[in-house]
Amino acid sequence: MFEILGKERVAQRTAAIVVRAPDIARAARAGQFVILRNTEEGERYPLTIADFDREAGTIELVFAELGAATIELGTFEPGDGILDLVGPLGNPSEIGRFGEVVAIAGGVGIAAIHPIARALREAGNRVTSILGARSASLLFWEDRMARASDRILIATDDGSRARKGLVTNLLAEEIASGRAIDLVVAVGPTPMMRAVAETTRPHGIRTIVSLNPIMVDGTGMCGGCRVDVGGRKRFACVDGPEFDAHLVDFDGLMARQRAYKREEEEACRLLALEVGHGLGLGLGLGHENR
């Protein structure tokens, strides 16, 4: 069992937990993830490592309560244990001295972009972070992202915090300003990552996205996380999770993400009846956490 040492509600239906996992903390690097199984009867699902403390032997995970597994995890409290936790998995982010970098995150992707932006800044890059969410109630870690960045820009769909609009509006303004951008890294909902790719494509700006397909084992054996990248089948868990955004087949990725939508909604309904969570349906799939 992996003990939960701390828990914090960071946004609407979004929680951060600190988990004792010394072996994972010792090896973790920016951009990697873990596979969890809450209980013996539970499903396996991925969450990105949002932070790690090698000395304390802990990792931090942030998740939105979207699918049955993450809703169940949201009921866990400090002192509870997660049955299985495997990692770090996936290839670490490419960290080098590129120059001007824009790190873009939407929703729970803010947790995933955090260690990447921090590592890129520590490597000597000038990092501008653009954070977005549907509303202010879904934004979190602005303070942490400010420390990990040289500049921070924020947009909300409804205008309840900072600029009204999308992260791509702010990205387009950065490009139009004439400031040279050497690298864009985006993590978040798939439609957002696709929009970022289409914003940078005409300008030839190198753009990396961290993909979040359905994933089961995280070691390349199940094939559930396969994606088309540059006309080739790749497994996000072992070939990624980061890929050249301009080569990703986003239509195929989104089709695969919807494959078990009906089953996930039924699982959410049954869990709501069991734990009295008062959930609605149509919440989406838990893989969007990664």
Which CATH number is 125's domain given? 3.40.50.80
Same domain assignment for residues 149 and 167: yes
pLDDT classification of 279: cutoffs 50, 70, 90: very low
* CATH number for position 47: 2.40.30.10
Same domain assignment for residues 117 and 187: yes
Task: Determine the Cα angle at 178 with ends 176 and 179, to 5°.
Answer: 115
Same domain assignment for residues 108 and 203: yes
Same domain assignment for residues 151 and 180: yes
Number of domains in the chain: 2
In a domain, 249, yes or no: no
In a domain, 222, yes or no: no
Q: Which of 144, 177, 210 is the last residue of a domain?
A: 210
Same domain assignment for residues 156 and 199: yes
What is the structure's pLDDT at 218? 84
Same domain assignment for residues 202 and 279: no
Same domain assignment for residues 84 and 137: no
Same domain assignment for residues 197 and 275: no
* Alpha-carbon span 101 to 104, nearest angstrom: 10
* Alpha-carbon span 281 to 272, nearest angstrom: 10
Determine how many CB atoms are found less than 10 A away from the CB of residue 160: 14
| Amino acid at residue number 159 | G
* Alpha-carbon span 192 to 4, nearest angstrom: 31
What are 82-97's pLDDT values in tens digits?
A: 999 999 999 999 999 9
Same domain assignment for residues 129 and 71: no
In a domain, 254, yes or no: no
φ, ψ of residue 225 to 5 degrees: the values are -100, 20
Kindly report the average pLDDT of the chain as a whole number.
90
Q: Which of 176, 210, 244 is the last residue of a domain?
A: 210
In a domain, 38, yes or no: yes
Q: What average pLDDT does range 40-65 have in this prediction?
A: 94
* Alpha-carbon span 45 to 286, nearest angstrom: 7
CA-based nearest residue to 212, from 234, 242, 185: 242
Same domain assignment for residues 127 and 181: yes
* Alpha-carbon span 214 to 69, nearest angstrom: 13
* Alpha-carbon span 34 to 218, nearest angstrom: 8
What are 220-266's pLDDT values in tens digits?
A: 888 888 899 999 999 989 999 999 999 999 998 888 777 666 766 67
What are 168-207's pLDDT values in tens digits?
A: 999 999 999 988 999 999 999 999 999 999 999 999 999 9
In a domain, 248, yes or no: no
* Alpha-carbon span 29 to 51, nearest angstrom: 9
The string over 121-149, giving b where at least 16 C-beta atoms fall within 10 Å of a residue's C-beta and e elsewhere, is beeebbbbbbbbbeeeebbbbeebbeebb
Tell me the two tokens of residue 157: 């769909």
* Alpha-carbon span 22 to 43, nearest angstrom: 23
Same domain assignment for residues 104 and 87: no
In a domain, 217, yes or no: no
What are the CA-CA distances from residue 205 to residues 38, 130, 179, 208 (Å)?
A: 40, 16, 12, 10
In a domain, 230, yes or no: no
Same domain assignment for residues 79 and 129: no
Q: What predicted TM-score, i.e. pTM, was given to this entire model?
A: 0.89
| Neighbouring residues of 239: CB distance < 8 A, sequence distance ≥ 6 | 91, 229
In a domain, 234, yes or no: no
The answer to whether 251 touches 239, Cβ cutoff 8 Å, is: no
Tell me the two tokens of residue 276: 């009295």
- Domain residues for 24? 2-91+261-289
Q: Which of 176, 195, 210 is the last residue of a domain?
A: 210
* pLDDT reading at 141 higher than 90: yes
* Alpha-carbon span 231 to 96, nearest angstrom: 27
What is the structure's pLDDT at 276? 57
